[in-house]
């Protein structure tokens, strides 16, 4: 028994340990059960391409079939698919949680759910989408495509790659534990976990959440080390620094940011756990002080923003030129601006703390760096637009989402400049304006993800998605996003604070709040609907879509824009096709598969 430990602390530690152990047992039981189950519908690929070219008689020698393959794989493409499937599940929960919240906010008082439930949902929404969706979905793309783009056989450390993924599902279960373990309240710390509130909350769900976050942090760090090693050492002979593709550049920069920020978050989380359970004083008033947490958290937290925005920028930089019929304009400047953002992102964290009473001289310097980081972001935007200028735009689903990205990113960026200005920030911080601003950026990130999913869909499934549904997905998503988050910008100007379960105030402009919240909720439903359409499209097309008939499904060769991953795809198809006679039909099927999409 450690001296100075209160009985309460002991019980909470023992419950935490008991919960963790039982969680582990549940996981093992699930794996055993899954391994015993037969007839799970899973595709056995021909060679190691994602199910694209049908069955062959020698596809089974390389990998075991069924569920065993997925539990034991160390292939970067399979791990990419695992990351992707996992991210879709977490995205669904993140979206569902916010739809419940937005329904509650249709009227001022608490009618649908209690404040405690609302606070639990807002905590889960933020943490799920940033840690369990944002970072993993980018790892999905990076895992699948970086080795293909740089001509590597696989990642530098395939097994570490596998471990990095398998840390995530237990992490998610720990983070969500409060929702499904009876008898403990879900964590209500908000995703920023500000002390002393996060120390004060008695529920063991908070401890479990911190442990889960720790796992996701370890996972992200492992992945980052792997990507850095891969991009430095595994490149093919003909790929040097001068012609390394833009997506790999952004992943490399992102990995650098992860390497410097996630371990710091891990340390801060451990300190918080110690404060909660062992009576240390890292973040208490007598000890390090409550603001120490904010400094440590945002020193991780702001780079995190760029961790989840840089690879999407890379996706846009690689996809947008393909459908503009010309190469990316100012490639060098896009790379430089990526590196500039990477460096500057570590010098802006205190702009989240302008109202905390920090030294005014320090504040001014953080304002300066925050304004400076807007320059490279704007430069990228201009480069994308100039790439389209004088091009031949084909408004396919990936292209539409690229354009959507640029338009949302412009609004997100401009609203951010207002928050960089300290006096304006003092009025707007902690209001819905901030929520609106960063969701414009996050929605831009989502559009880039969708662009990537649609662009490479033929490559990793060998099938075509349904283009009509993709269009519906795009328009509903864009209209919904603009409605929701523009309403939030206006709510912020009206003074509505964020993280409010109710807004039945007696003097404030309740009628205006109500109207704007209803608009935001309508937009959220549209986004939700677009998500359902997306999910249906992806799943149904993967199972039953028309097979791709060409190894250049987007007809990139005629513009001279065919990149490595499609050459790999071509090679895969050649080895998979046993009968060379199928090639002659290509031209007919191409015209209906991949005709120009006109609005």
Partner 1 sequence: MNRVKQLLLGLGFAVIGMSIVALPVAAAGYDSTTEALIQSLNLKLLYVAVPITILVEGILIYTVWRFRNNDDPKPTKENRRLEITWTVATAIILLFVGVASYQVLALPAVTATPQVTDSEQANATEVTVVGQQFLWTFKYPEENVTSRGTLVLPANRTVYLNITSRDVIHSVHIPELGLKQDAVPGQYNLLRTTPTSQGTYQLYCAEYCGVGHSQMTATVKVVSYDEYQQWLEDQKQSQ
How far is residue 343's CA from residue 346's CA, in Å, rounded to a whole number?
A: 6
Query: Which ranges constitute the DSSP H helices of 37-114?
Result: 66-72, 76-104
Q: Which of 420, 441, 453, 483 binds partner 1 (CB under 8 A)?
A: 420
What is the dihedral angle through the alpha carbons of 113, 117, 118, 121, rounded to the nearest 10 degrees?
Answer: -130
Q: Interface residues for partner 1 in 521-560 (CB under 8 A)?
A: 559
43 exposure class (CB count in 10 Å sphere: 0-12, 13-18, 19+): middle
CB of 434 to partner 1, least distance (A): 10
CB of 100 to partner 1, least distance (A): 16
Q: Interface residues for partner 1 in 76-135 (CB under 8 A)?
A: 115-116, 119
Q: Interface residues for partner 1 in 196-235 (CB under 8 A)?
A: 196-197, 200-201
**DSSP 8-state assignment for residue 288:** T
Pick the closer one to partner 1 by CB: 155 or 184. Answer: 184
| 3-state SS assignment for residue 463 | strand
Q: Which residue in the block uniquely carries the two structure tokens 């304004």?
A: 371
Q: Which of 101, 273, 403, 435 binds partner 1 (CB under 8 A)?
A: 403
CB of 429 to partner 1, least distance (A): 7
The H-or-E segment that residue 453 falls in is helix 432-455
Q: How many angstroms separate the Cα of 49 from the Cα of each of 200, 461, 536, 582?
A: 51, 8, 23, 18
Q: Interface residues for partner 1 in 440-479 (CB under 8 A)?
A: none
CB of 324 to partner 1, least distance (A): 7
**DSSP 8-state assignment for residue 110:** -
Q: How many angstroms separate the Cα of 507 from the Cα of each of 33, 432, 510?
A: 58, 18, 8
CB of 197 to partner 1, least distance (A): 4
Q: Are 177 and 212 in contact (CB under 8 A)?
A: yes
x-or-dash string of contact with partner 1, 359-388, rule CB under 8 A? -x--xx--xx--xx-xx--xx-xxx-xxxx
Q: Are 572 and 47 in contact (CB under 8 A)?
A: yes
Q: Which of 357, 511, 579, 581 binds partner 1 (CB under 8 A)?
A: 357
Binding segment for partner 1 (CB under 8 A), chosen from 28-36, 164-172, 282-290, 436-444, is 282-290
Q: Interface residues for partner 1 in 297-326 (CB under 8 A)?
A: 321, 324-326
Q: Interface residues for partner 1 in 337-356 (CB under 8 A)?
A: 355-356
Closest CA to 594 of 446, 448, 405, 398: 398
CB of 390 to partner 1, least distance (A): 4
How far is residue 300's CA from residue 277's CA, in Å, rounded to a whole number?
A: 23
- How big is the chain by its Cα radius of gyration, in Å? 24
Q: Which of 113, 417, 519, 529 binds partner 1 (CB under 8 A)?
A: 417
How far is residue 517's CA from residue 498's CA, in Å, rounded to a whole number?
A: 12
How far is residue 367's CA from residue 383's CA, in Å, rounded to a whole number?
A: 25
Query: What are the tokens at 471?
Result: 């269009």
Binding segment for partner 1 (CB under 8 A), chosen from 5-13, 32-40, 71-79, 287-295, is 287-295
Cα 354 to its chain centre, rounded Å, is 27
Pick the closer one to partner 1 by CB: 120 or 445. Answer: 120
> With CB under 8 A, what is the number of residues at the site for partner 1?
89
CB of 522 to partner 1, least distance (A): 22
CB of 126 to partner 1, least distance (A): 11
Binding segment for partner 1 (CB under 8 A), chosen from 67-75, 241-249, 305-313, 328-336, is 328-336
Q: Interface residues for partner 1 in 4-63 (CB under 8 A)?
A: none
- 290 in contact with partner 1 (CB under 8 A): yes
CB of 276 to partner 1, least distance (A): 14
x-or-dash string of contact with partner 1, 483-522, rule CB under 8 A? -----------xx-xxxxxxx-xxxx--------------
The H-or-E segment that residue 306 falls in is helix 290-319
Q: Which residue in the block uniquely carries the two structure tokens 């090693």?
A: 229
Pick the closer one to partner 1 by CB: 66 or 321. Answer: 321
CB of 236 to partner 1, least distance (A): 24
């Amino acid at each position: 028994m450690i001296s100075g430990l209160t009985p309460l602390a002991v019980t909470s530690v023992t419950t935490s340990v008991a919960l963790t152990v039982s969680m582990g047992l549940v996981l093992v039981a699930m794996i055993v059960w899954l391994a015993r189950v037969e007839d799970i519908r899973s595709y056995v690929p021909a060679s190691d391409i994602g199910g694209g070219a049908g069955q062959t008689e020698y596809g089974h020698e390389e990998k075991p079939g069924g569920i065993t393959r997925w539990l034991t794989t160390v292939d970067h493409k399979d791990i990419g698919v695992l990351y992707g499937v996992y991210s879709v599940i977490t995205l669904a929960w993140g979206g569902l949680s916010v739809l419940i919240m937005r329904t509650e906010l249709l009227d001022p008082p608490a009618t649908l759910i209690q404040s405690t439930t609302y606070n639990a949902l807002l905590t889960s929404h933020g943490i799920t989408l940033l840690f369990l969706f944002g970072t993993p979905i980018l790892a999905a793309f990076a895992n699948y495509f970086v080795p293909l783009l740089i001509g590597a056989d696989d990642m530098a450390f395939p097994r570490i790659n596998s471990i990095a993924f398998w840390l995530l599902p237990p992490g998610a279960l720990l983070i969500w534990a409060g929702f499904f373990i009876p008898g403990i309240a879900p964590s209500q710390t908000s995703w920023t976990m500000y002390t002393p509130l996060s120390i004060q909350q008695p529920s063991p769900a908070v401890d479990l959440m911190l442990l889960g976050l720790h796992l996701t942090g370890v996972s992200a760090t492992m992945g980052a080390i792997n990507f850095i090693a891969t991009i430095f050492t595994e490149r093919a002979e003909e790929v040097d620094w001068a012609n390394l593709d833009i997506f790999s550049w952004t992943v490399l920069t992102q990995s650098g940011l992860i390497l410097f920020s996630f371990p710091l978050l891990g340390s801060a989380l451990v300190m918080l756990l110690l404060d909660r359970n062992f009576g240390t004083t890292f973040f208490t008033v007598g000890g390090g002080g409550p603001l120490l947490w904010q400094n440590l958290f945002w020193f991780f937290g702001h780079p995190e923003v760029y961790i989840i925005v840089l690879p999407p920028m890379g996706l846009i930089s690689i996809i947008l030129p393909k459908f503009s019929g010309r190469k990316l304009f100012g490639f060098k400047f896009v790379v430089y601006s990526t590196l500039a953002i990477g460096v500057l992102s570590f010098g802006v964290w205190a702009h989240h703390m302008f109202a905390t009473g920090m030294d005014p001289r320090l504040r001014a310097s953080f304002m300066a760096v925050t304004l400076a980081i807007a320059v490279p972001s704007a430069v990228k935007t201009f480069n994308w637009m100039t790439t389209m200028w004088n091009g031949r735009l084909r408004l396919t689903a990936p292209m539409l989402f690229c354009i959507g990205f640029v338009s949302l990113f412009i609004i997100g960026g401009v609203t951010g400049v207002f928050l960089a200005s300290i006096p304006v920030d003092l009025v707007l911080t902690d209001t819905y304006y901030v929520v609106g601003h960063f969701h414009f950026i996050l929605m831009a990130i989502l559009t880039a993800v969708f662009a990537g999913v649609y662009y490479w869909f033929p490559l990793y499934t060998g099938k075509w998605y349904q283009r009509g549904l993709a269009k519906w997905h795009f328009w509903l998503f864009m209209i919904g996003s603009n409605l929701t988050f523009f309403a939030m910008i206006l709510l912020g100007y009206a003074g509505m604070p964020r993280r409010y379960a109710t807004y039945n105030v007696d003097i404030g402009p309740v009628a205006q709040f109500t109207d704007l919240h209803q608009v935001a909720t309508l937009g959220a439903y549209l986004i939700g609907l677009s998500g359902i359409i997306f999910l249906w499209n992806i799943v149904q097309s993967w199972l039953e879509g028309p097979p791709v008939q060409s190894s250049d499904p987007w007809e990139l060769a005629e513009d001279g824009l065919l990149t490595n991953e499609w050459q790999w795809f071509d090679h895969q198809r050649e080895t998979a096709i046993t009968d060379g006679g199928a090639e002659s039909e290509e031209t007919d099927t191409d015209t209906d598969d991949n005709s120009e999409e006109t609005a």
